[in-house]
C-alpha cells in the first residue's frame, strides 16, 4: 500500500510512552482502572452470576485484559494483521458477553475497540473496526436512537482527537530527539574545532622555534665545515640554545592563550621586536582586546615573518606596523632587503603557507611578496 494519510501508521513515538508526561501516565492508569472496575461491576452486578458463571466472567475479563495488552504491543510494532486479529478477539468476547447477558461488559469493550482503533491503527484499517464496534454498540444500546447517534459520533470524535494528540506528542518527541542530536553534533564539532586550534597553536609554536634553532645549528655546521674559530661556532650554538629557551617560553604562552590568559598583543610585539636587531614597531588606531584566534594569528604571523627575515635577509632592518581598524586589524612587516644568507635553502618552506591558512580560517587574508625596498608581509584579520 502507498504510504499516505490513509495507510500511514501513527509514529512509534506517538504510540509509545516515552513522550508522555507523568500526569498523563497517571491519568492513563486511572482510566484503565475505571474500565476494569466497570467490567467487574458489569460482570458481577447481575443475579445470573452464579456457579460456573462466576468462573466464565472472570475468565472473560482476564482474557480481555491480556488481549488488550497484546494489542498495545502489536500496534506499537506496526503489525497490522495481528492487530486486526486481536481486535476480532475483543469484539468476539464482547458479543459473547452480550449473549451471556453481561451488557455493560459488552458495551465497554465495543467502545474501547472503537476509540483505540482510531487512535492506534492506520485510518484505512481503523474505520472498519470502528464501524463494526459502534454498530454492535448501537444495536444493543437501550438508549433512544438520537442519544445513541450522539454517543457514537462522540466516541468517533474522541478516538480521532486522541490520535491527533498522540501524533502531536510524537512529533514533539522526534523534534526533541533531533534537537538533542543536533546539540550533540554541535558539541562534537566544537570539540573538534578546539582540538584543531590546539594542534595549530602547538604546531606554529614548534615550527617557529625549531626553524629558528635549525637556522643557528645549520650556521654552526657551515662554520665548522669552513674551519671557523671556536668563538664563532659557540656563538651559533648559544643562539640555538636561546631559541630553544624561547620556544619553551612560547609553548607556555600558547598554553596560557588556550586557557584565555595572554599578555597584551602590543607588549608581545614589543618584546618580539626587541629580540631582533634593527627592528622597530608602530601601533596605530584605537587599542582594544582582540578575540583569541585573531590575537594568536597576529602573534604567529609576526614571529614567522621575523624568522623569515633572519633566514633570507640577515641584517636587514625590519619595520612592523599594527593598525586597529573598525572591522579588522592589520599587521604589516616590511624588511629593507639584503643579500640572501647562507641558510636561505634551509627549512621546509611551509611558513607562508601556514600563515595564509591561519588567516583564511579566520576569514582574513595574507599577502607576501617583494616591494621596492625588500619583502613585505601584510595580514588582515576581521575582528
State the Cα–Cα distance between residues 220 and 207, nearest whole angstrom.
20
Read off the pLDDT of each residue in 166-172 and give the average, rounded to a whole number.
Answer: 82
Q: Look at residue 2 in the predicted model and tell me its pLDDT.
A: 46
- Final residue belonging to a domain, choices 142, 173, 199: 142
Which H helix or E strand runs over 80?
helix 80-99
Residue pLDDT, tens place only, 331-346:
999 888 766 554 444 4
Q: Is the pLDDT of residue 97 over 90?
A: no
Write down which residue in 126, 142, 158 finishes a domain: 142
Asked if residue 321 is part of any domain, the answer here is yes
- Check residue 346 and give its pLDDT: 42
Domain that holds residue 338: 263-383
Provide, rounded to the nearest whole percent, the portion of the chain with pLDDT above 70. 77
* Cα–Cα distance, 225 to 75 (Å, whole number): 87
Q: What is the pLDDT of residue 344?
A: 44
Judge whether 33 lies within some domain.
yes
Looking at per-residue confidence, does 192 or 20 come out higher?
Answer: 192
Q: Is residue 91 part of a domain?
A: yes
* Residue 176, in any domain of the structure: no
Domain tally for the chain? 2
% of the chain exceeding 90 in pLDDT: 10
Residue 19 lies in a domain: yes
**Which pLDDT score is estimated for 332?**
92
**70 against 244, higher pLDDT:** 70
Contact between 208 and 310 (Cβ < 8 Å): no
* Contacts (Cβ under 8 Å, ≥6 apart) of 277: 315
For residues 262 and 313, which has the higher predicted lDDT (pLDDT)?
Answer: 313
pLDDT at 6: 86
**Higher model confidence: residue 71 or residue 349?**
71
The reported pLDDT for the residue numbered 81 is: 93
Of the residues 142, 162, 177, the one at which a domain ends: 142
Across 84-103, average pLDDT:
86
Of the candidates 258, 233, 242, 255, which has an alpha carbon nearest to the alpha carbon of residue 209? 242
pLDDT tens, position by position, 243-287: 787 677 667 766 666 666 567 888 888 877 776 666 788 888 888
**How far, in whole angstroms, is CA 48 from its chain's centroid?**
65
Residue 360, domain CATH: 3.30.565.10
Instruction: Report whether pLDDT(143) > 90.
Output: no
Mean pLDDT of the chain: 78
Q: What is the separation of C-alpha 18 from the centre of its chain, rounded to a whole number of angstroms? A: 21
With cell 621596492, the residue in question is: 372
Cell triple for 152: 457514537
**DSSP E strand stretches across 108-252:** none
Q: What is the DSSP letter of 149?
A: H
Q: Which residues pair with 376 in a beta bridge?
A: 334, 369
Amino acid at each position: 500500500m502507498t504510504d499516505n494519510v490513509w495507510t500511514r501508521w501513527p509514529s512509534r513515538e506517538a504510540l509509545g510512552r516515552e513522550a508522555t508526561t507523568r500526569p498523563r501516565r497517571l491519568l492513563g492508569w486511572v482510566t484503565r482502572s475505571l474500565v476494569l472496575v466497570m467490567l467487574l461491576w458489569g460482570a458481577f452486578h447481575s443475579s445470573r452470576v452464579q456457579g460456573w458463571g462466576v468462573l466464565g466472567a472472570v475468565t472473560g475479563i482476564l482474557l480481555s485484559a491480556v488481549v488488550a495488552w497484546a494489542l498495545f504491543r502489536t500496534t506499537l510494532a506496526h503489525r497490522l494483521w495481528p492487530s486486526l486479529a486481536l481486535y476480532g478477539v475483543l469484539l468476539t468476547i464482547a458479543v459473547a458477553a452480550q449473549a451471556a447477558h453481561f451488557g455493560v461488559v459488552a458495551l465497554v469493550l465495543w467502545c474501547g475497540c472503537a476509540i483505540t482503533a482510531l487512535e492506534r491503527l492506520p485510518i484505512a484499517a481503523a474505520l472498519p473496526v470502528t464501524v463494526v464496534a459502534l454498530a454492535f454498540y448501537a444495536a444493543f444500546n437501550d438508549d433512544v436512537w438520537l442519544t445513541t447517534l450522539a454517543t457514537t459520533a462522540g466516541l468517533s470524535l474522541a478516538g480521532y482527537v486522541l490520535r491527533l494528540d498522540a501524533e502531536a506528542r510524537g512529533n514533539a518527541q522526534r523534534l526533541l530527539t533531533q534537537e538533542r542530536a543536533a546539540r550533540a553534533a554541535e558539541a562534537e564539532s566544537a570539540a573538534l574545532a578546539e582540538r584543531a586550534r590546539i594542534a595549530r597553536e602547538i604546531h606554529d609554536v614548534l615550527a617557529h622555534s625549531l626553524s629558528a634553532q635549525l637556522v643557528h645549528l645549520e650556521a654552526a655546521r657551515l662554520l665548522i665545515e669552513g674551519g671557523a674559530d671556536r668563538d664563532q661556532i659557540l656563538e651559533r650554538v648559544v643562539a640555538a640554545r636561546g631559541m630553544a629557551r624561547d620556544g619553551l617560553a612560547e609553548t607556555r604562552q600558547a598554553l596560557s592563550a588556550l586557557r584565555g590568559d595572554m599578555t597584551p598583543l602590543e607588549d608581545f610585539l614589543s618584546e618580539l621586536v626587541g629580540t631582533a636587531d634593527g627592528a622597530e614597531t608602530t601601533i596605530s588606531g584605537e587599542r582594544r582586546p582582540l578575540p583569541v584566534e585573531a590575537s594568536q594569528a597576529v602573534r604567529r604571523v609576526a614571529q614567522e615573518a621575523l624568522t623569515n627575515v633572519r633566514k633570507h635577509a640577515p641584517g636587514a632592518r625590519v619595520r612592523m606596523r599594527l593598525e586597529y581598524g573598525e572591522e579588522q586589524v592589520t599587521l604589516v612587516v616590511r624588511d629593507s632587503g639584503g643579500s640572501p644568507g647562507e641558510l636561505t635553502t634551509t627549512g621546509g618552506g611551509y611558513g607562508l603557507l601556514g600563515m595564509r591558512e591561519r588567516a583564511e580560517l579566520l576569514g582574513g587574508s595574507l599577502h607576501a611578496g617583494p616591494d621596492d625596498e625588500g619583502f613585505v608581509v601584510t595580514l588582515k584579520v576581521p575582528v
